[in-house]
Amino acid sequence: MNFRKITLIGLCLLASQSCKNILEEEVVTGITANYYNTPAGIEDGVKAAYEPLRSWYARERGFTLTTFGTDEFTKGADGDFKPINDYIPAMNTSPSDAVFRESWNFFYQAINTANTVIDRAREVQGMAEDRKATRVAEAKFLRAHYYFLLVQMFGPIHLTLNETKEVQTTANRTPVLEVYEAIIRDLEEADAALPATRLTGSDYGRAYKGAAQHMLAKVHLTRATVEGNPDPNGDYQKAAEYAKKVLPAPIGTGTYGLSLVPTFAAVFDQDNQETSEVVWSVQYTNDPLSNFNPIGNQAGGGFNNGNNAHLFFLMEYDAGHKGTRRDIVNGRPWKRFKPTQYTLNLFDLTRDSRYNASFKQVFLANNPANLAPGMKIGDTAIYLPTFEMPAEVVATKNYRVINPSEVANPANLRYFPSLSKFLDPRRISIQDERGSRDFIVARLAETYLLLAEASFRLGNVGEAVDAINVVRRRAALPGKEAEMEITASQLTLDFILDERSRELLGEMHRWFDLKRTNTLLDRVKKYNPDAAPNIQPHHVLRPIPADQLDRVTNKDEFKQNIGY
């Protein structure tokens, strides 16, 4: 199976067999549930359990809930979900909002599909036992992944580890630590049975031991911070151990052929996406069949099922400027996420390559009908310098200069350095929202940073510094590698969070990072001026979707999170 082309029958199974949410089912195809009792049904059921990854990763709902309301990004000019960044108790932070409802429903659909595979596989005949064990391990890996996302966002959640076969009218709020026990058990069992090598060819994108171990490191690191955890140091130790199983020598013992690619910019080379740095990714394609999603056409999902990441981080370059117009190479600017001043000030431009590799600062003239005097096609049309260009110098330029002072103006929501990691010049047309770039869920640079965080928590500062310095040396400008290294005296939790931003900016980690480290409120108040006045302690959890609450009959037990 090519994971860029999840089969239509797998998607149909997802829509029909998975419960619409944890309380109801809706049959929308002629495929019966008995299909899961066959080897082909198990194969397609596993494929179907992968599909909802595309409802979250590189989609607007996923970015909204991981990027907005953090220290890294604030609201740009456009979009319906800006109140989520601002933590305003209005329509877009209510339990009725689509980003919460759809994330909840799609993840539980996937969980029930995984449950069905796990339950039914025991009785399936005519399937090699080792193959069956691998497919069950994949289902457990995916179930753990969806539950991990849910428990971080919603806290105590409905935990079910068996197939839902009929309408349920009650639900539970399983304590957070119990949910983590189930997640870790699934991942440990997956680790024991998954392939020991990173898969290639038509199986690229399937789970394998390295992906499970990276996730185990992150889950243990996160569980260590959960209130009431009786042994946080035990979790930190496990996090460090699992990270080392993924990392190559000399720091780790990994045998997966993983290594950092030579330059930071190479991580996001669309012509070479299956690199040695990718621990696990979600595949996208321009194939129209794969971009069809029978679940529905709601916000960020449905029939437009491509990678949309290219849309959200771009400034408005295509209107009001001499010499420019919208094109495929520069992208379709939706102006959703504007970097905060904290983000723009993170990088030492004399040593660190990551600012220039992460942000688009120059737009070239591409509109012959609107050139400025003396401007030719291919000349600079817009420039966002990292320094304040004096007004008298700006006056000599025939191109638009957007100085840092203009970017910093709270009234300016349209013009800002644009995160370029996700640009997709392979889109079919200028207006097409569907991108084909893979989305990297886990990469080796993060594994090093997970080890650094766990080791720092354990007091193993030397090990933490060694891990961070591997990442920083790769990020250095040529000849600046030694200058990029840090010493033990420089290592703090804030430094680790800053380094995660420099390396992983915009890659759908940040809200979870701040929640895990119990710094969400402090750092949002310090660095996100739009959110600072409104964020409250209860915002470390998201609201339980209203339609879920409406369907339960045990309302005294299944209640909304405090504050919503």
How far apart are the C-alpha atoms of 492 and 180, rounded to whole Å? 27
Structural domain spans, the chain:
310-419
Task: List own/partner pairs for 235-241 with CB under 8 A and 24 or more apart.
Answer: 236/454, 236/457, 236/458, 237/454, 237/458, 239/450, 239/451, 239/453, 239/454, 240/451, 240/454, 240/455, 240/458, 240/460, 240/463
307 DSSP β-pair partners: 435
- Predicted local distance difference test score (pLDDT) of residue 291: 59
- Predicted local distance difference test score (pLDDT) of residue 208: 98
- Predicted local distance difference test score (pLDDT) of residue 421: 97
Strands (E), 148-197: none
Burial bucket for residue 357 (CB in 10 Å: 0-12, 13-18, 19+): middle
Do residues 417 and 361 make contact, with C-beta atoms less than 8 angstroms apart? Answer: yes
How far apart are the C-alpha atoms of 517 and 515, rounded to whole Å? 5
- Predicted local distance difference test score (pLDDT) of residue 305: 73
Q: Which residue numbers in the chain have pLDDT < 70?
A: 1-31, 90-93, 288-304
CA angle 142, 305, 90 (to 5 degrees): 85
Structure tokens at 169: 């009218």
How far apart are the C-alpha atoms of 238 and 261, rounded to whole Å? 27
Distances (CA, A) of 361 to 262, 293, 317, 365, 456: 23, 36, 11, 13, 35
- Predicted local distance difference test score (pLDDT) of residue 19: 34
Q: Is the dihedral of CA 189, 193, 199, 203 positive or negative?
A: negative
How far apart are the C-alpha atoms of 196 and 210, rounded to whole Å? 7
- Predicted local distance difference test score (pLDDT) of residue 285: 87
- Predicted local distance difference test score (pLDDT) of residue 165: 87
The per-residue b/e assignment along 418-444, b for 16 or more CB within 10 angstroms, e otherwise, is: bbbbbbbeebeeeebbbbbbbbbbbbb
How far apart are the C-alpha atoms of 521 and 532, rounded to whole Å? 8
- Predicted local distance difference test score (pLDDT) of residue 259: 98
CA angle 243, 151, 540 (to 5 degrees): 100
382 DSSP β-pair partners: 363, 400
Which of 503, 443, 509 is CA-nearest to residue 62?
A: 509
